[in-house]
Copies of this chain bind each other. A is one copy, B any other.
């Protein structure tokens, strides 16, 4: 079993805001992350796959094709978007890095070729904060 990680990048706007709370409560809990006019991040996304190398290629799987899967199912939905407004799979969810990592897992899990399993989604919100999700 080997683990293969591909690092991707996207930029997005978001805010942390619970619509069931008052503006004052949102401000109290989320501080400047609740700014009504949004803020944003350069997200760094590490997707780790696992499986056995193919004897003919030496590859777990062609990393360009895995990168293309990430692009189609994740990056095109998130890059240069507003996470709260523009992303169907984040609809009605709090746009925390935790929830975003889980949603990226769910976007990718059913899309992988035979012999390749999803192992981890690691998502940097800033260079000093990241979340990892292993699917359970």
| Protomer copies | 6
The A contact surface, by secondary structure, is: mixed
Contact with B along A10-21 (1 / 0, CB 8 A): 011110101011
Does the CB pair A126–B57 fall under 8 Å? no
Q: Which of B2, B64, B82 interacts with A38 by CB under 8 Å?
A: B82
Q: Which residue of B lies closest to A121 (CB)?
A: B2
Q: Which of B9, B40, B60 interacts with A13 by CB under 8 Å?
A: B40
**Contact of A117 with B by CB under 8 A:** no
Q: Which of B5, B56, B96 interacts with A129 by CB under 8 Å?
A: B5
Interface core residue of A1, A38, A62, A126 (most chain B CB under 10 Å): A38
